[in-house]
Every structure is written in structure tokens, then in C-alpha cells.
Amino acid sequence: MLLTTENIILIGALLLLVSVFAGKVAYRFGAPALLLFLGVGMLFGLRLISFNSAPVAQFVGMVALCIILFSGGMDTRYRAIRPVIGPGVVLATVGVALTALIVAGFVYVVAPWCNAEMSFLLALLFAATMSSTDSASVFSILRSRRQGLSENLKPLLELESGSNDPMAYILTILLVGLLTPGESMGFGTSLLLFVVGMTLGVVAGYAFGRLAVWTINRINIENQSLYAVLLLAFVFLTFSVTDLIRGNGYLAVYVAGLVVGNYPIVHKKTLGTFFDGFTWLFQVILFVTLGLLVNIDELLQPEVLLLGGLGGRRVEHTLANLCTGLGLEQRGVRTTLLDERSRITYVMPGETRRYPKEKYFFFSAFPMEGRAEGVSERGSFYELTDAVLTAGYPLGVSNEYAAGSDCITISTQKGALVVVETVPDGPILS
């Protein structure tokens, strides 16, 4: 399908339509609607839509989460969360840390059985990235239908979900610093950042919430529909300003929603209805986008990682492993050869592969079968367009990422390529 503006609108409409019907099915069978939203995105991404932009997905998630958290705060009565503030804060801090420790212990023990032995600190880093619950998921599940929860359990879960991100952030930053030589932040600094982020989030959220209430009650707009637009502006203003002053923007948005929902404001019912519908819209957009980001073909494709596969001093072993990797790729098995300084992968005929910028600096492509035609590289310092690479003329050697580029994309129409990524010998002078 030719990608035009009209087709994009058509695809967007179809995605929303299918997602709404999927949500109806989920409600009937008691399943979380967001799982079916994810499924819709994965289904469309399988053959119809090619989407692999993590920055776009991150932006969509940021916008959606602001709206979801604010709407959740508006629907929460302060008298309901007052008894659970203490337990909620403990769960959002100590609970997250304990979860990370338990999961890290499990990963540390199980990893050697999967031929992926790692240090406990590295296992703890993996666990820290998974230790906080996803607010959008929690709010969606709790509000999609009656769950039969006790009176205090629902607000406790919502409070913990909306406030546990700072602890996960701090744990991740601290562990990345400990694992990166010369970049350790220190426990004291990390703890200070945590306290500052939480405090600024609460204070800024309360201040902007009160400001929103005061403005809405006194502005006297003739067109009542604009009140919803005004409140929406306050949502994004709360998040952005709080983030700008190094506070936790998501916590601020949730607190602002609590303030707006618990103070008398004009057109409160209309505003609640607007944000209810808007929240569902962005829940659909968010989880469909995440589903589109999942490449089912890659999930189902078998992979082989050959650690130390470059052979060290035994050149003949390196050449043999390169040939073995090509043979596996030809049989549909994704193969990677790896040592401490280099990574080797393959690009097969008719394939396009993305190489996000990581620790590697030099980027080289060689025709594995002697000749490769229709070779294109984008995002590199020396770009190629429909080029021919031959064994007798190493045109693709010692390339690098272009200034400002965070990804190199390479494709070949005829003939397989072997791609070599290499860590620089020393610091790169800009």
C-alpha cells in the first residue's frame, strides 16, 4: 500500500475501530482490554504496518500516561486514599526495592542454566528495570470493570502504581553508575535525587492542581467546551514544568488530578466525562502503538549467539565460524558472533536491518558471498545508495555513525553481507 496522508488516516481509523470491538470482547469475557489492544497492534504490525520507532512510542507513552494518571487522580476521592497513604508510600519505595532484590536473586541463580551467567549487580540492574508496575496497565485494569476488591485495596493499588516510578529510576541510575567505571553516582546522591524527585512531584502537583481549580472557577468562558481544553493544558504544563525542575512529572500529574477531583469546580461532570473518553482513547493508542513496536517475526525467529566465536588467535576458526553463521542464516536462524571488542551479524538478500548506536563505533560491511548488489546504508558517515560491494574492493570498511545519528540502517538486494561492529581503541575525539 502506498503510504499517503489519507491512507494513514484510514489505517488509524481501522486500528481504533478494531480496538473498540476488541475491548467489547475483552469486557464480555472478563479479560483486561489492554491485552487485546496489544494484540491488535501486533496483528496489524505483522504484515500491514511497519513501525519500529522507539522514540515515537516513548512520546506516545508519555502523553498517554499523563492523561491516564490525571484522570485516575480525578476519579479518586481523598477520603479513600487517606487511610492508605502510609502503606502506599512504603510499597512504592521499600516494596520496589525488595521486589528488585528478589527478582535479581532469581535471575542470578537461573542465568547460568541459560548459558547467560552474570554478576549479581547486573542481575539487579535487570530486576530494577522491571520492579515498578506500569501505571497505565493498573489503572486500565482497575477501571475497566468491577474487580470485587476490598474498600481500601483499589485506592492503595492506584496510589502505589502512580508513585513507584521514582524508586525504580533511582535504582536503575545507581546500578548503571556502579557498573560503568568512572560514572558512579553514589548512594547518597541517588537517595537525595529520590527524595527531591518525590518532594517536587508532590509540591508541584498540588500547586498546579490548585492553580487549575482557581483558573477554571474564575475564567468564565462562554464556550463550555473550552474548559476541557484549558484543563488539558494544565495537565501537560504540570508534567513539563515538574520535569524541568527535576521532579517526578508523573507523580505531579497524579497529585494534580487528585486536587482537581477533590475540589469544587464548575462543569465538573462535563470535565469528568471528557477525560474519561480521552483516557480510553489514549489507552487504545498507547497499547496499540506498543503492539506495533513488537516484531512477531523476530520473536518467532530462532537465534544463536556464539560467544567467543571470532576465534581469538586462531584465524581459521574465525573463518569457519563466519561460514557457519552464514549457513545458519540461510536456514532462517539469526546468528551473532561476539567477543569483548567486536560483534558480527549478517544481512541477507532482500533484508533491511537496523543497528542502534551502542558501544560500537566502527561499522563495516563485507560481501559474504563475493559480491553484493543494491546495497544501501543510511545514518552512517559514508552513506551508500544502490551500491555494489565486491571482494576485490572493500568499499564498506571502517564506516561510522554520522553526527547526530543514533541508528544505521543497511539493506542488500542481492548477495549476503557480513556486518562487523567494533569498539574503538581509545576515546573518540569529536
Distance (Å, rounded) from C-alpha 71 to C-alpha 116? Answer: 42
The length of the chain, given as a count of residues: 430
pLDDT band at 429; cut points 50, 70, 90: very low
Question: What average pLDDT does the structure give for the chain?
Answer: 80
Which letter, b or e, does each residue of 193-207 get, where b requires 16 or more Cβ atoms within 10 Å of its Cβ? bbeebbebbbebbeb
| Secondary structure (3-state) at 367 | strand
What is the per-residue pLDDT for 170? Answer: 67
Q: For every residue of 155-172, which 3-state class applies, written as one string?
A: HHHHHHHHHCHHHHHHHH
Q: Is residue 46 over pLDDT 50?
A: yes
* Between 80 and 424, residue with greater pLDDT: 424
Which letter, b or e, does each residue of 266-298 get, where b requires 16 or more Cβ atoms within 10 Å of its Cβ? ebeeebbebbeebbbebbbbbbbbbbbbbeeee
Mean pLDDT of 195-206: 88
Q: Is residue 208 over pLDDT 90?
A: yes
- Give tens-digit pLDDT for 267-278: 888 898 888 888
Residue 408 bridge partners (DSSP): 355
φ and ψ at 173, to 5 degrees?
Answer: -60, -45
Which letter, b or e, does each residue of 69-81 get, where b requires 16 or more Cβ atoms within 10 Å of its Cβ? bbbbbbbbeeebb
**Dihedral sign of CA atoms 345, 347, 348, 354 in order:** positive
Taking phi first (over 0 means left), then psi (-120 to 50 degrees means alpha), and beta for anything else, what does residue 422 get? Answer: beta
What is the per-residue pLDDT for 205? Answer: 93
pLDDT band at 305; cut points 50, 70, 90: low
pLDDT band at 145; cut points 50, 70, 90: low
Residue type, 337: L
What is the per-residue pLDDT for 371? Answer: 87
Give the DSSP per-residue string, 113-141.
Answer: GGT----HHHHHHHHHHHSSPPHHHHHHH
**Grid cell in block for residue 67:** 492523561
Taking phi first (over 0 means left), then psi (-120 to 50 degrees means alpha), and beta for anything else, what does residue 154 get? Answer: alpha
Mean pLDDT of 410-429: 81
Range of weakest confidence among 66-80, 170-184, 194-208, 278-292: 170-184
**Grid cell in block for residue 418:** 557480513
Beta strands 303-307 and 342-347, pairing class? unpaired
- Give tens-digit pLDDT for 212-267: 999 999 988 888 889 999 999 999 999 999 999 988 888 899 889 989 998 999 98
| CA neighbours closer than 13 Å in the CB half-sphere of residue 4 | 4
Q: Is residue 115 over pLDDT 70?
A: no
Residue 183's CB: how many other CB atoms inside 10 A? 9
- Give tens-digit pLDDT for 155-165: 777 777 766 66
Chain CA centroid to CA 208, Å:
27
Mean pLDDT of 351-358: 84
What residue ranges in 211-350 does DSSP mark as E strands?
A: 303-307, 334-338, 342-347
* Between 49 and 204, residue with greater pLDDT: 204
> Are 87 and 152 a contacting pair, CB within 8 Å?
no
Residue type, 281: L
User: Hey, what domains does the chain have and what are their CATH numbers?
Assistant: 53-296 (no CATH), 302-422 (3.40.50.10240)
Distance (Å, rounded) from C-alpha 227 to C-alpha 275? Answer: 11
pTM for the model? 0.63
Range of weakest confidence among 171-180, 334-343, 396-405: 171-180
Contacts of 347 (CB under 8 A, 6+ apart): 353, 365, 410, 411, 412, 416, 417, 419
**Grid cell in block for residue 88:** 502506599
Q: Is residue 203 over pLDDT 90?
A: yes
* Proportion of the chain above pLDDT 70, given as a percent: 79
By the 10 Å C-beta count (0-12 exposed, 13-18 middle, 19+ buried), 318 is classed as middle
Contacts of 1 (CB under 8 A, 6+ apart): 7, 48
Distance (Å, rounded) from C-alpha 272 to C-alpha 135? Answer: 19
Match 464556550 to its residue by C-alpha cell.
Answer: 223
What is the per-residue pLDDT for 139? Answer: 64
Mean pLDDT of 18-47: 76
pLDDT band at 407; cut points 50, 70, 90: confident
* Between 36 and 200, residue with greater pLDDT: 200
- Give tens-digit pLDDT for 363-380: 889 998 888 999 999 888
> Are 242 and 249 a contacting pair, CB within 8 Å?
yes
What is the per-residue pLDDT for 430? Answer: 47
Residue 408: DSSP 8-state: E
Distance (Å, rounded) from C-alpha 362 to C-alpha 387? Answer: 19
Q: Is residue 173 over pLDDT 70?
A: no
